[in-house]
């Protein structure tokens, strides 16, 4: 299967193109000099390059998009872009879990994969998969201290990585848990993992629109409720 995959759930813009097991294009765009993500300004350029690497849209079998959890704005940009591309090109789109993609990005490891994404508000998004690929800790938003307790309670080898682990590396280190260094392979989401999950996904239903995975209420909704502008239910 030939497909493109992209994700904006983290601060990075992640794009890749794969033809079967071969990665033919991969790009990661970090935040700008001001520290702000550049999702809206970089995603389409990356997708265009990925499609060109596969030989044009006529050569693309599927679009895979990371649906989170992650930042509200990034998730909306990725989901709406995927929907628009599917509508304009006729290429089907499938949504995948960003946490599961981050777990695959940790590479070939022994024991449990424990991806950690930055959830803001002093929390992290976490989940865990065993060596057989079975989910053993469902996705959740937790304070880093609670995530650490979950890791210590697993027993056996655990590989921890992701931007959330990097952000709270000091707390993890104090608990005797080593995490990836900033900018290292285990510290960032890899685009090929999005493609891999997309290729394994079931065929999407016609007209299906990818919906972000929030896990908790988005910040935007909380701000509306705080300001008394929440929509009527």
CATH code of the domain covering residue 91: 3.30.420.40
The CA distance from 64 to 198, in Å, is 5
Same domain, 61 and 170: no
What does the pLDDT read at residue 224?
47
**What is the reported pLDDT for 221?**
52
Q: Is residue 122 part of a domain?
A: yes
- The pLDDT score that the predictor gives to residue 155 is 85
Q: For 61, which DSSP code?
A: -
User: How many Cβ atoms are within 10 Å of 174's Cβ, its own excluded?
Assistant: 10
Pair 114, 91 in one domain:
no
Do residue 67 and residue 141 come from a single domain? Answer: no
Q: What is the mean pLDDT of each run of 10 residues along the chain (233 residues)?
A: 97 98 97 95 97 98 97 95 96 97 90 95 96 95 98 92 94 91 77 97 82 82 52 47
* Helix orientation angle between 72-89 and 39-54, rounded to the nearest 10 degrees: 40
Cα separation, 78 vs 84, in Å, equals 10
Do the domain assignments include residue 231? no
Half-sphere exposure of 75 (CA within 13 A, CB side): 20
Question: Are 89 and 201 within one domain?
Answer: yes
Do 181 and 199 lie in one domain? The reply is no
Cα–Cα distance for residue pair 72/83, rounded to 1 Å: 17
Asked if 80 and 194 sit in the same domain, the reply is: yes
Domain count along the chain: 2
Range of the domain at 177: 106-187
* pLDDT of the residue at 7: 98
Predicted local distance difference test score (pLDDT) of residue 204: 81
Are 179 and 203 found together in one domain? no
Length of the chain (residues)? 233
- Please give the Cα distance from 82 to 43 (Å, whole number): 10
Q: Are residue 94 and residue 201 in the same domain, yes or no?
A: yes
33 and 121 part of one domain: no
- CA-based nearest residue to 116, from 126, 103, 104, 129: 126
**pLDDT on residue 229:** 60
β-strand partners of 64: 5, 94
């Amino acid at each position: 299967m030939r497909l493109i995959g992209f994700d904006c759930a983290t601060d990075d813009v992640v794009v890749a193109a794969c033809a079967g097991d071969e990665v033919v294009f991969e790009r990661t765009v970090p935040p700008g000099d001001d520290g702000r993500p550049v999702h809206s300004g970089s995603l389409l350029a990356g997708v265009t390059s990925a499609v060109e690497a596969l030989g044009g849209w006529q050569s693309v079998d599927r679009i895979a998009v990371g649906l989170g959890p992650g930042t509200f704005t990034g998730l909306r940009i990725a989901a709406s872009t995927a929907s628009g591309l599917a509508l304009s090109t006729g290429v089907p789109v499938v949504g995948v879990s960003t946490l599961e993609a981050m777990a695959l990005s940790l590479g070939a490891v022994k024991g449990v994969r424990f991806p950690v994404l930055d959830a803001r508000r002093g929390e992290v998004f976490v989940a865990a998969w065993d060596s057989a690929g079975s989910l053993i800790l469902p996705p959740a938003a937790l304070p880093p201290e609670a995530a650490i307790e979950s890791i210590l309670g697993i027993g056996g080898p655990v590989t921890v990585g992701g931007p959330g682990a990097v952000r709270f590396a000091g707390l993890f280190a104090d608990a005797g848990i080593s995490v990836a260094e900033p900018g290292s392979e285990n510290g960032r989401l890899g685009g090929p993992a999005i493609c891999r999950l997309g290729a394994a996904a079931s065929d999407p239903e016609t007209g299906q629109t990818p919906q972000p995975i929030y896990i908790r209420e988005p910040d935007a909704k909380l701000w509306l409720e705080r300001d008394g502008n929440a929509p009527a239910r």
